[in-house]
Amino acid sequence: MFDNDHIDQRIQHTILWTYEALHALLKKEDFHDITVSEIIKKAGISRATFYRHFKSKEDIIRVSVRLFFSSFHHEIEGFYRHQREEDEIFLIQQFFKHIGERRALIDMVIEANLEGLMIEGIRGIIHTQKEQFYSLIPRNPATEDYTIDLVALSAWGLIARWMKNGQKETTKDLSKIYIESFKQVYIALFEGKEELGGKTI
């Protein structure tokens, strides 16, 4: 998922101009009312250039999300290469920090109903950082995919709620809320209980 990020600088500029054009248009129009013609005019590129890099206006967001996760992945990889001791919480804290810095992109994702892109990106990060992830929770190969889905979906749900509430909490506070929420759910369901639904856990 994160191996296609070596992009020519000229292409990077085209992607950036197109992204910024869409972002500017979204301040005045709903996403679904914006046309490709408006985007290329605002970006100052030709129609041929647009379709050389994107299949649709939705593709602008897809590419931007992919680049976001690729950049984050490489930063995390660099951290763990140079860190002698594992810092499992660092991954969570840094992710929310990066999300907070890309408010415009997250707004676009929500506006275009492309939340699945973010969920899939979060799944990819968890998958590539399994060792850190499973130092936090017990590992069970039989339920691994379900666990990753649950964590990815809950992370996105928290982010979406945070965005809609106006980002009142800091990203550091958000990471604490995320971790504490899992602890509270676990305690509520299992602490001091040996059975669930009549079956031994």
The pLDDT score that the predictor gives to residue 133 is 64
pLDDT for the residue numbered 199:
52
The one-digit pLDDT tens for each residue of the chain (201 residues) are 555 545 677 788 889 999 999 999 999 999 999 999 999 999 999 999 999 999 999 999 999 999 999 988 888 877 767 665 555 677 788 888 889 889 899 999 999 999 999 999 999 988 887 766 666 666 777 888 888 898 899 999 999 999 888 888 988 888 889 888 888 887 777 776 655 554 544
Which DSSP string do the residues of the chain spell out, in sequence order?
A: --S-----HHHHHHHHHHHHHHHHHHTTS-GGG--HHHHHHHHT--HHHHHHH-SSHHHHHHHHHHHHHHHHHHHHHHHHHH-SS--HHHHHHHHHHHHHHTHHHHHHHHHTT-HHHHHHHHHHHHHHTHHHHTTTS---GGGHHHHHHHHHHHHHHHHHHHHHTTS-S-HHHHHHHHHHHHHHHHHHHHTT-SEETTEE-
The CA distance from 48 to 45, in Å, is 8
CA distance 107 to 19: 13
pLDDT of residue 163: 87
Residue 144 pLDDT: 82
